[in-house]
Structure 1
Amino acid sequence: MTRLIGILVGLGFTFVVLLAFVMGAFTWATEEVAETAEHAFHKPAEPLKLASNGPFGKFDRQQLQRGYQVYKEVCAACHSMHLLSFRNLTEIGYSEAQVKAEAASWTVPGIDPNTGEANTRPGIPTDRFPSPYPNETAARAANNNANPPDLSLITKARPHGPEYLHSLLTGYQEQPAELLEKFPEAKTGVGLYYNPYFANLNIAMPPPLSTDGQVTYADGTEATINQMSTDVTAFLVWTAEPTLEKRNQTGWPVLGFLIFATVLAWFAKKQVWADLKPRKQKT
């Protein structure tokens, strides 16, 4: 009797699960999903061509230095980059003397050795890039309750990171009249900015690159919004993966060795088993 009750309970449970699955699938297939402003007006990131793209990609050091200049003069006012030290700038073409001078142009938190109190001091090459805010609360208070993300790994932290970042920086615009007519509730609120490349279309970050010539490049390159956006994106690709060139240079020889070893193993197998014949099956 106990076994029969157990079987009936099991069958009942199985029936309920199967019914729930069928009803859920039917609802998913037949229910009309209401269109949202995000679904209708969100745009995928535009393609971006960088020297570092592809399996043979290499960094353009001149472009990386321009990108660093954009970060320092524009982005650093809100965004930290705490995984990078000043001494890492030698990897993008700066000399040790230039790195020392560059580090000294930044102000970093320090400790007074005489009193033990917190103070500030000029940076040194071993220091990491400082945060513009003392803590998250201060960051949110200064940015309409939004916490600006650290940019060290930003191109790895977002899908299609380089393309997304470049599209976001160049994508600020007025809300389309069609959007407001169709979705009046999606009107950009106070302290927000319309950007179709952002997930919910409205972003708290003001346009960081708003006019051509916002940065004066040391190498004389014309600083258009597109150029500045491309350069800082290239720089942030490097901060997220500074060993990209070494990885590419190492990867191809390793792949060639593996192919050679596979072919060699196949010929060795043929040689070892060449004199052995398969046994005949007895009938």
Structure 2
Amino acid sequence: MARLIAILVGLGFVIILAYSFVVGAYTAATDDAAPTAEHEFHLHPRDAHLQSAGWTGTFDYQQVQRGYQVYKEVCSACHSLRHVAFRNLAELGYTEAEVKAEAATWQVPGINPATGEPVMRPALPTDVFPLPYANNVAAAAANNNAVPPDLSLITKARHDGGNYVYSLLTGYRDPAGYTHDGMSLNEEFPDFTTPTGLHFNPYFPNLNLAMAPPLTSAGQVTYADGTEATVDQMAQDVAAFLVWTAEPTLQKRHQTGFPVVLFLIFATVLGFLAYRNVWRNVKH
């Protein structure tokens, strides 16, 4: 008798748990989630109109060179590029002498051959771009407890990467009075605030980020080719550069891919016609 009661009690618990699970799953699937500021006001990246976009994209190497200049003079103060070596700049059209000269303008950690002590030395083409901070603790301490990400692969690590970088750099706003699709952020979410030390940017997933606007005014960089350095132009150029650092073989891949696809289509059609010719007289 006691065993029967125990079985019935256990069965009752199982039924209650199953009912709770089914009701909870149904509610989660059918009820609309409570709106949040991040959901309502987060914006998808704008089109940067980069030449590298699309299936047939190629690099505008003059633009990529300008983007490298923006990285060097603005972004490198906080962000590393540790998966790129100075010798890779030759792929952008720089000569061997220019690559050596450019590398030498950067300081990288080295060892004094006479004393064995750590020193800073001019970089060589074989060196990778140096880290701006000694470690993540120092990076966080200098950036409101946020470690600036390495930018080598940033456009592959973020959805719609090139457009994301461009939109983020040009997307800083004042949250006071900010509207989107006819909705006012202050009216819809009166409790929304941008904490001290953070900056409002609707292209960032949670709307507030630690990075202050890096591109603040036109002429912040003086381009060697004479292009007017507006904020929008600088954002486009550095986005193009970071697309290249993330996938330097993109142009070659596109140039190779289409002939391969066309050949495979041709071979498939040829194989199908051969199959029909060989087996046309065979009856099932």
Query: Where does 1:176-215 land on structure 2 (aligned, <5 Å)?
Result: 176-177=176-177, 178-215=184-221
C-alpha displacement at 1:257, in angstroms? Answer: 1.4
Contact 1:42–1:199 (8 Å) recurs in 2? yes
Contact 1:42–1:201 (Cα < 8 Å) also in 2: yes
Distance 2:79 2:43 in 1: 25
1:268 Cα deviation from its structure 2 partner: 1.7
* Mapped contact 1:66–1:232 kept (Cα < 8 A): yes
Structure-2 residue corresponding to 1:277: 283
Question: Is this contact kept in 2: 1:180–1:187, CA < 8 A?
Answer: no
**One-letter identity of the residue aligned with 2:92:** I
After alignment, is 17-26 or 77-86 more displaced? 17-26
One-letter amino acid of the structure 2 residue matched with residue 98 of structure 1: E
- Quickly say closer, same or farther: Cα 1:276–1:160, change in 2 above 3 A: same
Deviation at 1:180, TM superposition (A): 3.5
Match of 1:60 in 2: 60
Structure 2: which amino acid aligns with 1:106? W
Gaps in structure 1 of 5+ consecutive residues: 279-283
Question: RMSD of aligned C-alpha atoms?
Answer: 2.3
Aligned counterparts of 2:90 and 2:76: Cα–Cα separation in 1: 19
Fraction of identical pairs, as percent: 63
d(CA) in 2 for partners of 1:275 and 1:31? 61
Pick which of 91-100 and 10-19 moved more: 10-19
Q: 1:239 aligns with which of 245, 250, 254?
A: 245
**CA distance in 1 between partners of 2:15 and 2:261 (Å):** 53
- Secondary structure of the structure 1 residue equivalent to 2:79: coil
- What one-letter code is carried by the residue in structure 1 that aligns with 2:19? L
Q: Which residue of 2 aligns with 1:255?
A: 261
- 1:169 maps to what in 2? 169
Per-residue deviation, residues 206-226 of structure 1 (Å, max 9, x unmatched): 100010110000011000000
Distance 2:281 2:189 in 1: 78
TM-score, length-scaled by structure 2: 0.89
Matching residue of 2:86: 86
Q: TM-score, normalised by structure 1?
A: 0.90
* 2:155 alignment partner, SS class: helix
Cα shift at 1:87: 0.4
